[in-house]
Amino acid sequence: METLCFYLFAALAVVCGFLVVANPFSRNPVASAMFLVLTIAALAGLFVLLHAFFLAAVQILVYAGAVMVLFLFVIMLLDLKEEERRSWRKFGLVGGGVAVALIALLMYAALRQSPLGAAGEPRVEGSTAALGELLFRQYLLPFELVGVLLLVGMVGVIWLSKRAVP
């Protein structure tokens, strides 16, 4: 049962992820964004199968709920028509290939360190309290740093967009 669910969600994630970047039926950015939502939902399903309910809920709440809606908002406001006409460029092909190769290398290295199917017991049990303990005790500094990083990004965006308007 769990294996079946895993393959279902995994297939959904891969297929929808592919359709986000290379949809043969429509070049519409809105369609891409919606397939991204499906990908995120499938990933949340995978989290549930790992008994990480908190992560699954946050994944849906933050990514599918807030971030994707903002993406769609921007798409609606900007009316990205030229995106539909864009064709393949040599630079894009080479850059994309290099990026894929790098990620594949990274995954290969990660998989060699911990072989498939031998993950053993999860580090954090599904409980939200345990996750909070870990985040706010052991990993407090990285957690706060990520928060500051996001704030810097936000301030930067506001500064840039304020400059554009005279």
Partner 1 sequence: MMETLDQLFVLLKRWVVGEFPAAWRLWLSPLIDAGAIIGVFAGLFAVTTLLERKGLGRLQNRMGPNRVGPFGVLQPLADGLKMLTKEDIVPRAADRVVHFLAPIAMVTPILLAYAVLPFGRNLVAVDFDAGLLFFFAVGAGTELAVFMAGWSSRNKYSLLGAMRGIAQMISYEVPLVLSAVAVVLVAGSLSLPSIVDSQAGYHWGWLARWHVFTPWGLAGFILFLIAATAESNRSPFDLPEGESEIIAGHLIEYSGFKYALFFLGEYLGLFAVSALGITLFLGGWQAPVPFLAWVPSYLWFGAKLLGCIALFIWLRGTMPRLRTDQLMNFAWKFMLPLVLVNLVVAALWHGTAAWGFFGAGATRWLLGGAVLWLTYSALSHALFTAPGRGPRTYRYAD
* Residue numbers at the binding site for partner 1 (CB under 8 A): 30, 34, 37, 53-54, 56-58, 60-61, 64-66, 68-70, 72-73, 76-77, 126-128
Contact (CB, 8 A) for 51 and 122: yes
Q: Rounded distance, CA 11 to CA 14, Å?
A: 5
What distance separates the 2 farthest-apart alpha carbons in the chain? Answer: 60
Q: Is the Cβ of residue 70 or residue 155 nearer to partner 1 in the bound state? A: 70
Q: Is the Cβ of residue 25 or residue 91 nearer to partner 1 in the bound state? A: 25
Kindly state the smallest distance separating residue 119's Cβ from partner 1, in Å: 21
Kindly state the smallest distance separating residue 106's Cβ from partner 1, in Å: 29
Q: Rounded distance, CA 45 to CA 87, Å?
A: 34
Q: Is the Cβ of residue 44 or residue 107 nearer to partner 1 in the bound state? A: 44
Kindly state the smallest distance separating residue 24's Cβ from partner 1, in Å: 15
Q: Is the Cβ of residue 8 or residue 68 nearer to partner 1 in the bound state? A: 68
Q: Rounded distance, CA 143 to CA 77, Å?
A: 33
Q: Write down the H helix ranges in 22-126.
A: 29-49, 53-58, 68-78, 82-85, 90-113
